[in-house]
Amino acid sequence: MNPINDPMTWQSRLPWPGAEAHKHARGRLGVVSGGAYSTGAARLAARAGLRIGAGLVKVFCAPEAAPVLAPALEAVMLASFVSGDQLAALAEPMDAVVIGPAAGLTEATAANVAALARTGAALVIDADALTLFRDRPGDLFASLDRDDVLTPHEGEFERLFPGLLAEGRETAAQEAARRAGCVLVLKGSATVIAAPDGRCAVNGNGTPWLATAGSGDVLAGMIGGLLAQHMESFDAACAAVWMHADAARRFGPGLIAEDLPDMIPGVLAELYPG
């Protein structure tokens, strides 16, 4: 029986800013956007990353998406790219990057994943950037290291690890993390977080209010925001999963994904040791 994901196991390692902190010291998060008609997921992830404490968040997009994104972003910055090499150059200063939400099931997304893997950023890989590799999971795993995090729901998990769920969610997540060589978050009512070294935790505060479009994009941004602050990947995933559910529980009925980032400060305030 794996332990329940509880704040007592990671709360002491949450990244709080010191008296001399500045935005760059608090971590830099990048989020790769989809096309001009698919920018909402990136905006949700970016806002969540900013709310959870990353000092600087920047969205990277294709030039045609920039006129859509620019009026919709305030504290979140924006930069455009036309090739994987340009994306890698933009991402090089970042501490963490989220890619996948509404990114598009195209070879350009695969090239962008490979380009980001050449940087020093910790990657959070979600949604389209998972499904894209359904027939070639080895190509994805070759781009990963132990600091990266995969965040599949069961459908995406089955595409990358066919048949593995038959062994049970916890066993499947642990084996998948070992195969991928990185942290894996198997989303669901009892989300499982697994690390390639065998660590595993099962989330116990899940809520049905999270069953709404875009909530996974917010979770990806929360994980990315903690990674950007140099929280260890397994702890960051555990903390983000618990806080994500707690934020949803606080809001309750009527929750939509846009509500989640603005609930994060209340969650953080109760965890803050000061």
* Distance separating alpha carbons of residues 96 and 93, to the nearest angstrom: 9
Give the pLDDT of residue 187: 98
Under a CB-based contact definition with an 8 Å cutoff, are residues 193 and 200 in contact? yes
Under a CB-based contact definition with an 8 Å cutoff, are residues 53 and 269 in contact? no
Under a CB-based contact definition with an 8 Å cutoff, are residues 32 and 127 in contact? no
pLDDT band at 3 (very low <50, low <70, confident <90, very high): very high
Residues 207-234 have a mean pLDDT of: 98
Give the pLDDT of residue 211: 97
Tokens representing 23? 């935005």
* Distance separating alpha carbons of residues 56 and 48, to the nearest angstrom: 12
Residues 194-218 have a mean pLDDT of: 98
How high does pLDDT run on average in the chain? 97
| Sequence-ordered list of residues with C-beta below 8 angstroms from that of 95, at least 6 positions apart, any chain | 27, 28, 29, 121, 122, 227, 228, 229, 230
* Distance separating alpha carbons of residues 79 and 186, to the nearest angstrom: 31
Task: Give the type of residue at 224.
Answer: G
> What one-character-per-residue DSSP string does 199-257 give?
-EEEE----GGG-STTHHHHHHHHHHHHHHTT--HHHHHHHHHHHHHHHHHHH-TT--G
Q: What is the pLDDT of residues 30-81, one digit of tens each?
A: 999 999 999 999 999 999 999 999 999 999 999 999 999 999 999 999 999 9
Range list of H helices, 74-203: 84-91, 107-117, 128-131, 137-141, 154-160, 169-180
Domains defined for the chain, CATH in brackets? 26-156+206-267 (3.40.1190.20)
Q: What is the pLDDT of residues 228-265, one digit of tens each?
A: 999 999 999 999 999 999 999 999 999 999 999 999 99
Instruction: Tell me which residue of 64, 66, 46 sits closest to 56, measured CA to CA.
Output: 46
pLDDT band at 208 (very low <50, low <70, confident <90, very high): very high
Q: What is the pLDDT of residues 81-118, one digit of tens each?
A: 999 999 999 999 999 999 999 999 999 999 999 999 99
Instruction: Tell me which residue of 26, 75, 23, 33 sits closest to 231, measured CA to CA.
Output: 26
Dihedral angle sign, alpha carbons of residues 210, 215, 219, 220: positive
Tokens representing 140? 């994805």
Give the pLDDT of residue 274: 77
In this prediction, what percent of the chain has a pLDDT beyond 70?
100
Q: What is the pLDDT of residues 22-32, one digit of tens each?
A: 999 999 999 99
Give the pLDDT of residue 181: 98
pLDDT band at 1 (very low <50, low <70, confident <90, very high): confident
Under a CB-based contact definition with an 8 Å cutoff, are residues 274 and 16 in contact? yes
